[in-house]
Structure 1
Amino acid sequence: MADLELSPIMLIQSGEDVLGDRAVRSVRTSLRARDPNTDVVELDASAYAAGDLDALLTPSLFGEPKAVVVPNLEKVNAAFQEDLLGYMSSPDPDSVLLLRHNGGVRGKKVLDALKRAKVPSTKIDKVKYASDKGKIVTQDVRNAGRRITQDAVEALVAAMGSDLRELLSSVNQLLADVEGTINESHVTTYFAGRVEATAFNVADAVVVGNSGRAVELARHAIATGNSPVAIVGAIAAKFRAMAQVLGQRSSHTKARLKINDWQVKRAKSDLRGWNNETLAQAIRIIAKADAEVKGESRDPEFALERAIVDLSKLRKRS
Structure 2
Amino acid sequence: MAQRPARRPSRPSVTWDTVELAPVVLVQGAEGLLVDRAVDRLRVLAREADSEVEVVELEASTYASGMLAVETSPSLFADRRHVVVHGVEATSDAFITDMIAYLDAPADDVVVVLEHRGGQRGKKLLDAVKAHGGPVVACEPIKKDSDKSAFVTTEMRTLGRRADAGAVRALVEALGSDLRELAAACSRLAADTTGTITEAVVGRYYGGRVEATGFRVADAAVAGNEGEAVSLLRHALATGVDPVPIVAVLAMKLRTLAKVAAMRGRRHLSAADLGMAPWQVDRARKDLQHWTPEALAEAITAVAEADAQVKGAGRDPVYAVERAVLRIAAAARA
Give yes or no for TM over 0.5: yes
| Distance of 1:194 and 1:256 partners within structure 2 | 34
1:264 to 281, 292, 295: 281
Could you tell which deviates more after superposition, 28-37 or 213-222? Answer: 213-222
1:20 to 23, 27, 35: 35
Letter in 1 for 2:103: M
Find the residue that maps to 1:41 and give its secondary structure.
Answer: strand
Could you tell which deviates more after superposition, 11-20 or 194-203? Answer: 194-203
Determine the structure 2 residue equivalent to 1:5. Answer: 20
Q: Deviations over 1:236-277 (max 9, x none)?
A: 22123223333433x3x4252524222101212323443445
Within the alignment, does 1:107 sit opposite 2:122 as a pair?
yes
- After superposition, the Cα gap between the structure-2 partners of 1:7 and 1:244, relative to the gap in structure 1 and judged at 3 Å, is closer
Determine the structure 1 residue equivalent to 2:47. Answer: 32
Determine the structure 1 residue equivalent to 2:165. Answer: 150
Letter in 1 for 2:121: R
Within the alignment, does 1:136 sit opposite 2:175 as a pair?
no
2:75 to 55, 60, 65: 60
1:209 to 224, 228, 242: 224
Structure 1 residue ranges without an equivalent (≥5): none
- After superposition, the Cα gap between the structure-2 partners of 1:273 and 1:102, relative to the gap in structure 1 and judged at 3 Å, is same
- Percent identity over paired residues: 46
Find the residue that maps to 1:165 and give its secondary structure.
Answer: helix
Letter in 1 for 2:154: Q
Letter in 2 for 1:303: A
Could you tell which deviates more after superposition, 90-99 or 173-182? Answer: 173-182
Determine the structure 2 residue equivalent to 1:314. Answer: 331
1:218 to 230, 233, 242: 233
| Distance of 2:318 and 2:292 partners within structure 1 | 28
Q: Deviations over 1:67-112 (max 9, x none)?
A: 1111211121122222212222211121111111111111112112
Letter in 2 for 1:237: M
Q: Give the Å deviation of 1:11.
A: 0.8
Q: Give the Å deviation of 1:4.
A: 1.9
- After superposition, the Cα gap between the structure-2 partners of 1:92 and 1:267, relative to the gap in structure 1 and judged at 3 Å, is same
- After superposition, the Cα gap between the structure-2 partners of 1:295 and 1:97, relative to the gap in structure 1 and judged at 3 Å, is closer
Determine the structure 1 residue equivalent to 2:131. Answer: 116
Find the residue that maps to 1:43 and give its secondary structure.
Answer: strand
| Distance of 1:106 and 1:220 partners within structure 2 | 42
Determine the structure 1 residue equivalent to 2:187. Answer: 172
| Distance of 1:56 and 1:210 partners within structure 2 | 64
Q: Give the Å deviation of 1:288.
A: 4.0
Q: Give the Å deviation of 1:165.
A: 0.7
1:304 to 321, 327, 334: 321
| Distance of 2:131 and 2:140 partners within structure 1 | 21
| Distance of 1:165 and 1:268 partners within structure 2 | 31
| Distance of 1:50 and 1:18 partners within structure 2 | 30
TM-score, normalising length: structure 2? 0.85
TM-score, normalising length: structure 1? 0.89
Find the residue that maps to 2:212 and give its secondary structure.
Answer: coil
Letter in 2 for 1:70: V
Q: Deviations over 1:12-36 (max 9, x none)?
A: 1022001111101110111111111
In the comparison of the two structures, how many residue pairs are matched?
315
Q: Does structure 2 conserve the Cα–Cα contact (< 8 Å) formed by 1:147 and 1:181?
A: yes
1:254 to 246, 253, 267: 267
Structure 2 residue ranges without an equivalent (≥5): 1-14
